[in-house]
Chain A
Amino acid sequence: MARSPARPHAHGGLTSQSRIPNHALHLIIVRLFLLTLLNGLTLGALYFMVASGFTLVFGLMRQVNLAHGSLYLLGGYVGYEVGLASGSWFVGVAAGFASMAVVGLLLQVVLFRHMEGQDLRQTLVTIAISIIAADLMLAHWGGLAYQFDPPEWLFGATPMPLVNAYPTYRLALLATAIVIGLLLWFFLTKTRVGMMIRAGVDDRAILSATGVNVQRVFAITFAIGAGLAGFAGVVGGTALSIAPGEDNRYLLASLVVVIVGGMGSVPGAAIGAVLVGLAEQFGLAYTPTYGIAYTFLIMVLVLAIRPQGILGRPG
């Protein structure tokens, strides 16, 4: 079991009544701030991974996929089962991505393709799917929470300056999110399909006029978006467990991130995710009662000042 290195003399929390020498008090305050900062960044990393798929699908296909949270949860469950069966966490992660990509593909080809242009109807269908999926998942996997075990070298704490130790896994989350962000950027800017997607975000009509098989692009986009959700499900389920109700939580987080960051913009999702993650963690650390309210406060502010989001396009 990982043991943490000796911590500086800390005589209790910020509100304790014992006498603390000034320098130690400073250290406690700084330490809490840094820990919260790291917590916020790593949580933001997770939110980015979940929200990037959502914003991609909306940006291109103008479709609000409210079953995104269900994809997260289902990917998590599938990844857990596969990981357990194969004994490898990485295989579980890959399974989470692959299975949800397939599900996303099926949804697009079987259902949404026939509802082109009917935004509201598509959204209602996603709501219906999320209700059914949540109930069926509850029936199959029950109400328990599933906690994944990451591989040995990811577990435990990494020694760090000032805060002494920080969970390695959360640092790995941050690293993963950065990698995903870079991969997405590369995919969108340097590959042909990526350029088609970006063109489609700008103007779908012209894209199809140039002879591109738009349906195929849609299918690929939806598959990637769903796959990202599934991937995040396994990765997130390792940091914070998965259980019924997590689908709503991450859907809500995705909504707020995308509203704040701007629809269809992956860099926007990154900014939004960092803001939301930091707001939530600082809220929980310093005013725990209303911690969750800060994310919505940011959302309201953005809506009031710049409704299309920080990096979103107007109209």
Chain B
Amino acid sequence: MKQTFRTSMLAAAIAITAAWGTGVCAQDIKVGGLATLEGPFAVPGQDSMRGIELALSEANYTAGGKKITLIKASSNANPDVAVNAARKLVEQDKIDILIGPLSGSEGLAVKDYAKTQPNTTFVNGSSAAQDTTLRDPAPNFYRFSTDGAQWMAGLGEYVYKNKGFKKVAVVAEDYSFPYTQVLGFMLPFCQAGGKVPEKFGVPLGNKDYSSVIAKLPQDVDAIYVALGGADAINFLTQYQQAGGNKPLIGGSITVDQTVLGSKGRIRDAVIGVPAAGPIADSWDNPKWKAFVAAYKAKFPDGLPSPSLFAHAYYVETKAVLAALNQVNGDLSGGQAKFRQALSKLKLDTPTGMVTLDENRNAIADIFLTEVAVGQGGGLYNKVIRVIPQVNQTLGTDKAKFMALGPVSRTNPECK
């Protein structure tokens, strides 16, 4: 039929044109940025792109003497979509370096894809699943940000020793990122002598915590809530409405700007909640403050303060730029020199020094925080302590750490 004929001619024409590609100067280095610009993670995704753009603009979009072109791609937290987007960047747009993705499961999928594309270098965005680098790593996948377990460094010991919480119940959503955070919290907590008598897994997307609240044990000292900001508010509200009054311990994305901005009765429950993570909004440090100021100046429509996503993407981009500068933009020979430079990089970031371990995962500083009331009455995350140079095994022996096995609903336990 005519229409199929015409359609296929059109498709063929497009195919042939695209096959020749657009003429781009060979001196340019093409960098692909992959973040979740669609779906419920769209806001962190946008912030991630801001992080890349900030780093690139600080370097004037040049590194190693060559011009840098940024090509953006979008996913929606679905690993299939992320791989498709990565494939488009690598095979169609012919990028040299990919920076991304944002979420944990996407990171695992992109890592697998990276193994099939040895000529492109893959640098992480903010994805924080442990196994992306810990188990079966890809030789061309670099992560200059820390994983979900590392983010919890220092919290377990702090709540045991300083807050006196000996028994803690855990509430977490049923997927790998919360499990990883729980591992990061429980390992040092249990080692210090703490006990976790019960863990509650909440099905993904379920906003009704009434059944969990009904089952929470009475004889625990606190509740560790590995939920995201919005869900945390939900949980808190329902918990308060049910008459609950135990103190909470937060995960890295629990006490975020949504929670800190809460009004009304929830506010009282939030003050004093300890948490840990890769950044702390109100850290009194000149480099961090300069970063925040630069972010605010460049993005007046952005978030009030850069999120951990913007920060992660910023650091990863900085690493790429630093390594490119070191090798003078030489990406020849399968990018060998560039990758060597990346592996050996000692990067100075707004949150401290970052280096890579043998799995190309970051060793960086972590921030232990607690919610406090600031001048003017607003809530903020006060930095209690900076935990220096946390590695992927949280300071424990690597063999023992690996023997724990991959995280799951029932791993780890310490009743």
B219's partner among A11, A149, A167, A245 (CB-CB below 8 A) is A11
B234's partner among A39, A164, A166, A240 (CB-CB below 8 A) is A240
- Does A157 lie at the interface of the complex (its beta carbon under 8 Å from any beta carbon of B)? yes
- Does B238 lie at the interface of the complex (its beta carbon under 8 Å from any beta carbon of A)? yes
Alpha-carbon gap, A288 to B212, bound state (A): 9
Query: Nearest CB to that of B239 among chain A residues?
Result: A167
Alpha-carbon gap, A7 to B301, bound state (A): 49
Contacts A143-B41, A157-B243, A245-B40 hold; do A12 and B198 have CB atoms under 8 A apart? yes
Instruction: Give the contacts of A133-154 with B (CB-CB under 8 A).
Output: 138, 142-145, 147, 149
- Does A15 lie at the interface of the complex (its beta carbon under 8 Å from any beta carbon of B)? yes
Total interface residues on B, CB under 8 Å, equals: 49
Interface string of B33-56 (1 = CB under 8 A from A): 000000111111000000000000
Query: Nearest CB to that of A239 among chain B residues?
Result: B238
Q: Are A12 and B197 in contact (CB under 8 A)?
A: yes
- Does A170 lie at the interface of the complex (its beta carbon under 8 Å from any beta carbon of B)? yes
| Cβ contacts under 8 Å, B39 to chain A | 138, 244
- Does B162 lie at the interface of the complex (its beta carbon under 8 Å from any beta carbon of A)? no
- Does B241 lie at the interface of the complex (its beta carbon under 8 Å from any beta carbon of A)? yes
- Does A4 lie at the interface of the complex (its beta carbon under 8 Å from any beta carbon of B)? yes
- Does A115 lie at the interface of the complex (its beta carbon under 8 Å from any beta carbon of B)? no
Instruction: Give the contacts of B196-231 with A (CB-CB under 8 A).
Output: 197-198, 200-203, 205-208, 210-212, 214-220, 229-231
Q: Are A7 and B214 in contact (CB under 8 A)?
A: no
- Does A156 lie at the interface of the complex (its beta carbon under 8 Å from any beta carbon of B)? yes
**Chain B CB within 10 Å, residue with most, of A149, A167, A285:** A167
Q: Are A32 and B215 in contact (CB under 8 A)?
A: yes
CB distance from A82 to the nearest CB of B (A): 17
- Does A281 lie at the interface of the complex (its beta carbon under 8 Å from any beta carbon of B)? yes
Q: Are A288 and B203 in contact (CB under 8 A)?
A: yes
- Does B340 lie at the interface of the complex (its beta carbon under 8 Å from any beta carbon of A)? no
Q: Are B243 and A14 in contact (CB under 8 A)?
A: no
Contacts A166-B242, A245-B40, A284-B211 hold; do A145 and B230 have CB atoms under 8 A apart? yes
- Does B411 lie at the interface of the complex (its beta carbon under 8 Å from any beta carbon of A)? no
Total interface residues on A, CB under 8 Å, equals: 55
Q: Are B211 and A149 in contact (CB under 8 A)?
A: no
CB distance from B209 to the nearest CB of A (A): 9
CB distance from B258 to the nearest CB of A (A): 5
Q: Are B265 and A39 in contact (CB under 8 A)?
A: no
Query: Nearest CB to that of B217 among chain A residues?
Result: A12
B201's partner among A18, A168, A280, A288 (CB-CB below 8 A) is A288
Query: Nearest CB to that of B243 among chain A residues?
Result: A4
**Chain B CB within 10 Å, residue with most, of A3, A239, A289:** A239
Instruction: Give the contacts of A237-272 with B (CB-CB under 8 A).
Output: 239-241, 243-246, 249
CB distance from A301 to the nearest CB of B (A): 21
- Does A105 lie at the interface of the complex (its beta carbon under 8 Å from any beta carbon of B)? no
Q: Are B241 and A4 in contact (CB under 8 A)?
A: no
CB distance from B383 to the nearest CB of A (A): 24
- Does A17 lie at the interface of the complex (its beta carbon under 8 Å from any beta carbon of B)? yes
Query: Nearest CB to that of B264 among chain A residues?
Result: A149
Q: Are B265 and A10 in contact (CB under 8 A)?
A: no
Q: Are B40 and A35 in contact (CB under 8 A)?
A: no
Q: Are A10 and B214 in contact (CB under 8 A)?
A: no
Alpha-carbon gap, A289 to B265, bound state (A): 31
Instruction: Give the contacts of B173-197 with A (CB-CB under 8 A).
Output: 174, 197
- Does A155 lie at the interface of the complex (its beta carbon under 8 Å from any beta carbon of B)? yes
Q: Are A241 and B198 in contact (CB under 8 A)?
A: no
- Does A292 lie at the interface of the complex (its beta carbon under 8 Å from any beta carbon of B)? yes
- Does B233 lie at the interface of the complex (its beta carbon under 8 Å from any beta carbon of A)? yes
- Does A291 lie at the interface of the complex (its beta carbon under 8 Å from any beta carbon of B)? yes
Alpha-carbon gap, A18 to B233, bound state (A): 32
| Cβ contacts under 8 Å, A32 to chain B | 214-215
Alpha-carbon gap, A291 to B265, bound state (A): 30
CB distance from A141 to the nearest CB of B (A): 10
Q: Are A39 and B210 in contact (CB under 8 A)?
A: yes
Alpha-carbon gap, A293 to B218, bound state (A): 29
Interface string of B85-100 (1 = CB under 8 A from A): 0000000000000000
CB distance from B384 to the nearest CB of A (A): 24
- Does B268 lie at the interface of the complex (its beta carbon under 8 Å from any beta carbon of A)? yes
B268's partner among A1, A5, A7, A245 (CB-CB below 8 A) is A1
Alpha-carbon gap, A2 to B268, bound state (A): 11
| Cβ contacts under 8 Å, B215 to chain A | 13-14, 32, 285
Instruction: Give the contacts of B242-295 with A (CB-CB under 8 A).
Output: 242-245, 258, 262-266, 268-269
Instruction: Give the contacts of A290-307 with B (CB-CB under 8 A).
Output: 291-292
Instruction: Give me 10 A-to-B residue pairs in the complex whose CB atoms sit less than 8 angstroms apart, sorted by A's number.
Output: A3-B243, A3-B245, A7-B218, A145-B258, A156-B240, A165-B243, A169-B241, A280-B208, A281-B210, A285-B211
Q: Shortest 10 CB-CB distances between A and B: which pairs?
A: A4-B243, A145-B230, A167-B241, A12-B217, A157-B243, A285-B211, A35-B214, A165-B243, A284-B211, A39-B210
